[in-house]
Structure 1
């Protein structure tokens, strides 16, 4: 109800305004109404405070439950923006472990646990895909791995920090005629000659902390005979931004008192050569064709010699019988 003001001006002859009883009644009603308004305002203010207290601040803050949002077409679920004139979360490769800000940071504080950064699920049916990062334990030969899991099984694809990759299936490459031009057959004789000239080796991989023994080729030696299979040049160098100093990742606010952030330096680093081992297959195939041809030719020559020898044997037998 609206406030009902006390009348103090109406002239009743012997008095003006509302009689005392009427005036006090209005005051009492108005007071009750104002108290109701105050209680309502207090209830709304308390609710608003609870909502505000539960809301995340613009910077920092911690949630105590999941954040859910219904997907809408052509809208971002989460987006990292910049003005277009700044790098934003971009930067050079070397600073990935330094000053760059990630779009998603996952803290992995136990080296014996795998940490799942992503999982995709068809609820009520099956988990479709998961991505784990595992530090490898505390052993001296521990290696960090990135593991791709699928409904068919865990660790179907594994990427290891020594550069190795392990897959549970078959590795195939596009080889359709529609992506090929200037097709030329590999000369079988030249392929066989190159195969004889190149040097297969076993070696210790010093880029791997475990220093395993491996088999392969020395890239620059191989390049002399199979130039299409080797990238880079012997002893080549390139400029690369590297992080120098203490590169230990500390959580914000947890740096040691004497901590000095690492700095970036532009340095000359080795531009390592690489060998396309899968690309050896066509050359081995061509070399096999050459050796197959040689075998056919030698077998034909052998048959001719056997035939000639047979004729000589018959003549010798005839001569011996005539004697």
Structure 2
């Protein structure tokens, strides 16, 4: 029988009270430090919930991230925020990063800091409680940004990986969750080894797994999390210790059944990580909570 672990990652839906407070902060009606206290309280509640539901692995719920690129990239020298840009064909938008260079960290990611058009730092409000540091995948960062002409792609990837490693260590994390939502071409997976030890790396890849690049590479990570409908999990399992499966739908309010989920886990796997196919901020909080409860009961 397959051993099942569960994972919750990325931006989690906010409760209505926090959304109201964020709106008041945007209008200048409350101080930033007051907002930060509310963000911390909401974060502590979410972490308590993940733990009580029995979720094996989870990132910070990222309540102070307006999109999954903005606060991290805004903290780096040489990056400016561009216009609001649609993500694929969804109704979700993000501020397009404009990369003029990739330098060092401008702010202490573990301390209070005020950003432009985004709630305040620290980057991870649950550092010390969540067990995975969330990072947008380095290939996704470049693919979803406007990179100034003349900048070398591999140099930028290496700088980004080095910066991620610094942030991870400063925030006290060993394990990382790398969110390759729109990676374009993953042609140098050895970059991942600079961010964390392979046994501490959980790699989410949307779409087709780039098997040829991993075949050429020597990197083997703890988990590669893919869609089973688009990929062979047996093939993916050659390049990681525990394959992960994007099963729970975070774009629909329908609650899947436990047996429905378990039937989609191949019997050939000794162990597997089960998670959702996108972060859950697209859902009402009450529905996201039910999906977390479903995962915790697997």
TM-score, with normalisation over the residues of structure 1? 0.24
The structure number with the bigger radius of gyration is 1
TM-score, with normalisation over the residues of structure 2? 0.26
